Amino acid sequence: MPVRHPAVAALSSSARPPRNLHPVAWWIWAAGLATAASRTTNPLLLLLVFAVLGYVVTVRRTDAPWARGFPYYLWLALTVIAIRVVFRVVFESGVTPADHIMFTLPHLPTPRWYAGIQIGGPVSLEAALSAAFDGLRLACLMCCVGAANTLANPKRALRVLPGALYELGVAVTVSLSVAPQLIESVQRVRRARRLRAGNTKGLRAVRGIVVPVLEDALERSLALAAAMDSRGYGRSGTATRASRRLTGALMLLGMLGLCTGVYGLLDGTTPRLLGLPALLAGAVLCGAGLMTGGRRVRRTGYRPDPWLAPEWITAGCGVVVAVTLFASTGYSATQLNPSLYPLSWPPLPLVPSAAILLAAVAGLAAPRPAAVPGPAPGAALPASPDTPTETAA
């Protein structure tokens, strides 16, 4: 048996055709980072999560329109932090003697029934930092969702949805693709006006950009409606009224059981039957409702996404991060939420930092994404073969 040289083997492995990672793996990875971010207000750990998100998105995103929105999530995150700090500064809830006063705003008197919150007054450094850390945590959660939307193909994500949720999944996918398509239309119109020596900036250029963008959006909507109608979207098939009522009852009771179970687990004073048993019963009822509702939909898919070693590694990294910050083993829980009294530099715990950095392995384990061919300027977008079809059963 011939033995290949290691360099030849490495070259052949690197020459393998690229493929897109399974969308569920990206969502599990992002959900793990979001869970970890929700457990801490340590700014060092949150900035570490931002760094991991930025690295993985940079090395593993595609050139598709839906994969260009992560910078906008970053701008939205900065806006959230700024709004959180401004509200905390304006609506100050009180100052303690240990606070460090930075400046004083004009104070507006409030009625007695509005006691506990004052408008204006002295602004402390501790209050501003507390608001900034809370806003940073919320911004990190938003960027985790943005990273999942950037890395996971929304059309391929429809494949893993149950048949009963197919129509809802299509609606969510269409809504998620609106903003990237509008951005793409604006860029194309501005490029065309620049080639024709037209104005691309200022108020005069707004009219020349808005009208073509709206016309393009209308054409896309008509093409999408025709494609959805030809693929049987919204048809009930052979489902009877009794089966639809059974599906609705199972889903309603299942959601009620899930809500009751979650409340029972969070509140320790409730009976035990309202905790884990109610949660399991609700999950079983929801599963039965999804199964009965999915029988009326028969779907076909072209080139199903495989679940191989890169998917296991990517999803496992997200699970490890979430479990590590939930377990609170190997470090103190106070290191995740450092106190601002007295003011000091926040600690950097070793175990959570290593777990968050482990999530960056997803950028190395995930395969190189496949290139997305762009359509010709002004051409209608063809129906993607990755989109599953729905037919009446």
Asked if 237 and 393 count as a contact pair (C-beta separation under 8 A), the reply is: yes
pLDDT tops 60 at residue 267: yes
Contact assessment for residue 248 and residue 288, using Cβ atoms and an 8 Å cutoff: no
Mean pLDDT lowest among 97-106, 165-174, 221-230, 266-275: 165-174
Of all residues in the chain, what percent are helix, strand and coil, respectively (each to 5)? Answer: 65, 5, 30
Give the pLDDT confidence of 1-32 residue by residue, as tens digits: 444 444 444 333 344 567 888 888 999 999 99
| pTM summary value | 0.71
pLDDT given for residue 95 in this prediction: 73
Where does residue 242 rank: exposed (0-12), middle (13-18), buried (19+ CB within 10 A)? exposed
Can you give the pLDDT at residue 138?
93
Cα atoms found within 13 Å of the Cα of residue 283, Cβ hemisphere only = 8
User: Can you tell me the distance from the alpha carbon of 190 to that of 208, in angstroms, rounded to the nearest whole number?
Assistant: 9
Nearest-angstrom CA–CA distance, 41 and 324: 16
- % of the chain residues with pLDDT over 90: 20
Amino acid occupying residue 15: A
In tens, the pLDDT along 99-129 reads: 778 888 887 777 777 766 777 778 888 888 9
Has residue 88 got a pLDDT over 70? yes
- Mean pLDDT on 135-147: 93
For the chain, the domains span 17-156+307-372+379-392, 239-295
Integer angstrom CA distances of residue 388 from 45, 176, 308, 374: 40, 17, 21, 21
- What's the pLDDT score for residue 379? 45
- Name which residue leads in pLDDT, 216 or 324: 324
Query: Does the bond joining 162 to the residue before it have cis omega, within 30 degrees of 0?
Result: no
302 band by pLDDT with thresholds 50, 70 and 90 = low
Contact status, residue 25 vs residue 314, Cβ threshold 8 Å: yes
CA distance 35 to 384: 33
Average pLDDT over residues 34-63: 92
Question: Which pLDDT value is given to residue 315?
Answer: 93
pLDDT, average across residues 360-370: 88
Cβ atoms < 10 Å from Cβ of 227: 16
Taking a C-beta distance cutoff of 8 angstroms, is the pair 372, 64 a contact?
Answer: yes
Give the tens place of pLDDT for each residue, 202-253.
666 676 777 788 888 778 777 777 777 776 666 656 667 777 788 888 888 9
Instruction: Report pLDDT digits (tens) over 229-242.
Output: 776 666 656 667 77
Tell me, what's the pLDDT at 166? 66
Task: Give the mean pLDDT of 75-90.
Answer: 91
How many Å apart are CA 370 and CA 26, to the nearest integer? 16
- CA distances to 6, 97, 232 from 2, in Å: 13, 80, 54
Quote the percentage of the chain above a pLDDT of 70: 73
The pLDDT, as a whole number, for residue 377 is 44
CA separation for the pair 309, 316 (Å, rounded): 10
Phi-psi region of 7 (alpha: psi -120 to 50; beta: other; left: phi over 0): alpha
Q: Averaging pLDDT over each range in 89-98, 218-227, 293-302, 319-328, which range is the top one?
A: 319-328
* Angle (CA) 186 190 196, round 5°: 150
pLDDT at 255 over 80: yes
Average pLDDT of the chain to the nearest whole number: 78
More confident residue, 109 or 311: 311
